[in-house]
Structure 1
C-alpha cells in the first residue's frame, strides 16, 4: 500500500461521500414522492444513506462497545432496504394492491424481528459473537463470528432485492420499449453493491473485515439517476400500463377469455365468468372445453347462444392468436360480444320491412286500381280532383316504398370490396336519363327539357367504390336538385373541386341554381331519428349521406342565395374507409 493512501482514511471518506451523494439524490427526488413508487424509492435511497454514513463514521470508532452500537443503524438500513425496494417495485409495476396483503405484512414483521435481534444481540449473541475491533489501514474495522441467524437475516434481504429486480425485469420484457430502459437500469443497479455484500458475508477476500458495499452505492445510484433524469422514471410509470391492461379487459363490456397453448384458461374478466356460468377464480386453470366446447380457435365461429339470468343471450365470437416476442404462438384471446339486442332489432326490422313493403305495395296497388275505376265513373269535377290527388299520393307512397327497396339493395352492395370506377362515364349515363323530357315533371311540359346538367370531369378520373352504390348517390343527388327547382329548366353542374380535395380523396362538387335545401331537412341528417314536427320530405338526402359514408368518404352541404353546393369527398386510393385520413374520418355530415 502506498504510504499516503494507507495514511488517508479513504474507505471511510468514500463511504461518507456515498452517503452524501445519496442524500443529494433524495433532495432531487423529493418533489416526486407522491408519484407511484416515489415514497418507497426515497426510503430505499434513505436506507442506503443511513448505511453509508453509519459505516463511514463507525470506521473512526475504536471503542469495541461503541463500535458495536454502530451495527444497529447499519443493520437496520440493511434490513429495510429490501423492504422498501420490494415495495417500490410492486407499486411501480402496478402491483400496489400487494402492499396491503398478508404476505407483505409478514415480510415487514420478519424484518422488524431481525432488527430487534440485532439491537438485543449483546444479550443473546444470536446474530453474531466474538465481536472485536481489528484496525485495518488505520480504521476501526471489525471481525465477528457470523451466527446462523445472521445468514437468515441476510438471505431475506437478498431475496427481497432479487424479487424486486425480477419484477422490474419482467417489465422490461413485457411492456416493450416504452418502459424498458428505466426499468432495466433500476433492475440492474442492485447488482453492484450486492456482489461485495455477498463477498463480505462469505468472508471472501484478502481482508475479510472490509465491507465495500457502501463504496459501490454511487455506481448503483448512477443507474438510478440515469433512469430518473434521462428516462423520465416517474413520468412514464409501468403501473399505468399494467392497470390499463387490466382495465381494458375488465371495462371492455364484452366477455374476454385468454387461453394458453394448452387451451387452459389463464385469464378472463367478470363478464366472461357470467358467460361461463362460474366465478372468474374458479374458471382459471380449467380447459376451455369445460365451459365452451363449441368455440373453434382455428376457424370462423358462428354466434353462440347461452341462457343466463334474464333470458337467452346471443354472442358473436372473435378469436385472435397470442404470440411472444419471437412470433411463437403462446395462446389465444377470445372475445364474446353480446349481440342479442342487435339480432332482435335486425329480426324485427326485417319482419316489419318485409310485411310493410309487401303488404303496403299490394294494398296500395289495389287502392290505385279502384281510384282509376272510380275516376272513370265519376262526372263531378270536384270529386275527380279529389280522386286525382288521392291517386297521386297513392302513387307517391308506392314509389317511396320502391325507393326504400332500391336504397336497401344499393347499401348492401356497398359492403363489397370497392372497385376502380371511371367517374365520367357513370355521370354521363345518369345525366342522360335525367336530361331527357319528362311529362309533368315539376310543372314542366312534355316538350321542354327536364334539366340542363353539365359534367365537368376529366376522362381519367377514377374513384374506388361499389359502382351501384356510387350510381345511387349521384342519381339521388341530381334528382333532388332537379325535382326541387321550380324553374322551367333547372341547371346542375358536376365538377371536380381541386381546392376541396384531401390526400387520397377526390372532391366532386354538385352545384344547382335552385332555392336550396331547407335547413330543417339538413338538420335531420345529423339526428339519430326523425320527429313528427321536423322531418325530411324524402329519402334522397339519406341515401346520399348513408352512401357516401359507406364508400368511406364525406359530404358537405352548403346552401346559399344562388343555390346549393354539395361537395363529395370520395376515396381514390386502394385503402378502404378504415384507413382514410383523419381530416375526412372526423368530418361531420352534413
Structure 2
C-alpha cells in the first residue's frame, strides 16, 4: 500500500539543490540533490561553512549579500550567480536565491540553487565571439522600451555606454543624424510590426563627427507574437566614403568631359562651315578681277569697292574665325589635360592610402604664397602663421593648400586678394584661406557636407576642392566653408602633432607679412 509522501521525501526528489543555513552561514539541512549537483554526500557538508566552497573570486561578494539579508538590509529576491566547488575538484556555476525565515517560517535561511554551468559557459562563448566583432549586436523588447542586450562596441560606434542604454533604451536616437531620424523611427515601427528591415543612416558619436552604419534587423517571435527585435549595426563609413568618391569622380568627369566636348564639337562645326563656304585666300588673290570688271585689288574701275568690302575681306575674316576657333579647341584640350592630371593625383591619393605624418606648416604656406606672388604680381597676398606649428596630416596637405590658394586667385573677378591665416589649438591646426571671389555655390558646399546627393542637376565642378576635401578627411580632419560680404573663407582643419608635456612647443608667436600689389 502506498503511503502519503512526506515533505522531506519530496525535497529529495527535486533536481535543485535545496539547503538551509543558519545565521553564521553553516549548513543545517541539505537535500539529496546535493549529491547529484556537487558530488558530496549531504552528511559530509552538514555543519560546515557553506561559503568555504565558493570560488575565491566570488566569495566576498556572496558572503556580503548573505550578511546583508541576515542583517535585514538585503533583498531576498535577488538572484546570485557564482562558482562553487565540487567533490571532484572542479567548479560549476550555481544560480541561487536566498529566502529569509520571514518568507518561509523555517528556522534558517533557505537557499535554492540550480546548476547553470552550461548556460553560463554558452553565454561566455557568445560574449567572446561578440568581443572579437566590431559590429554592435543588440536586442530590445518589441516596443523598444527595454534593452535586452547590446555589445560593448556600442560606445565606439554610437558614443553611448551600455549603462546609458539600459537606463534609456531609446537614447541611441539622440546620436542619429537629425535628417535621418524620422526614417530610422519608421523602420523601428516596421520591425516591431514583424517585418525584417535593413537601413543605412548616419550617426554622430562625437560632436562634429559623422559616421555611416548599416543596420539589419529581425523580429523575434514566440507563438507567432513579436516579443523582441534583434540585429546588429555595422560601421560602413569607409565603404560609404569609397563609394561616394567613385560617384564624385564619375560625376565630375562626365560633367567636365561633356561640357568641354560640347565646346569642341561646336567649334569644329564652325570651322567646317567656314572652310566649306569661304574661298581660300590664295585663290582669291590669284583670280583676276578683270572678267568682272575689277582690278586685282578687288575694286571697281570707277574706284568703288565691290559690295562695299575689300576683296580679301571674306577670306581674311574666315581665316581669323578659324584661328580663333583653333585657339578655343587648344584651350579646351589643355583644360581636359589638366583635369586628367588632377584626376590622376586624386586617384593616387585615394588608392595609395598612406599614413599621416608630421608636417611643418609655415614653410609650406609661405612658399606657396610666394610662388603665387611671382605668378600674379598684381595680386594682394598676405600670410599669418606661427613660427613653429606642426600638423599631423597626409603629405598631400601641401597640394590641398595649393589648390585652395589657386582657386582663390583664378576665380577672382577683379584683382585677387588672398589671405592665408594659420592658427592652432590644443588638438588641431587650422589653415584658413580668405578671398574676394564670388560666393562658392551652395550646391558645392552642401554636397561636400553630405547634405545633398550629387546628380546631374546638383554637381560640383572643382576637382581641386574635392582633392582638398579628401586630404583633410583622410587626415582625420575636415574642410569647412563660410561666406563673408567680400568673399569666401575656406578652412582646412587637421590634427596637430602631439608633443610630450615636457617638450611643449614655444608660445604662439605670430607675425604677419603683407605685400602691396606690384607697381603700386
TM superposition score category, shorter chain reference? 0.3 to 0.5
Higher helix share: 1
- TM-score by structure 1 length? 0.38
Higher strand share: 2
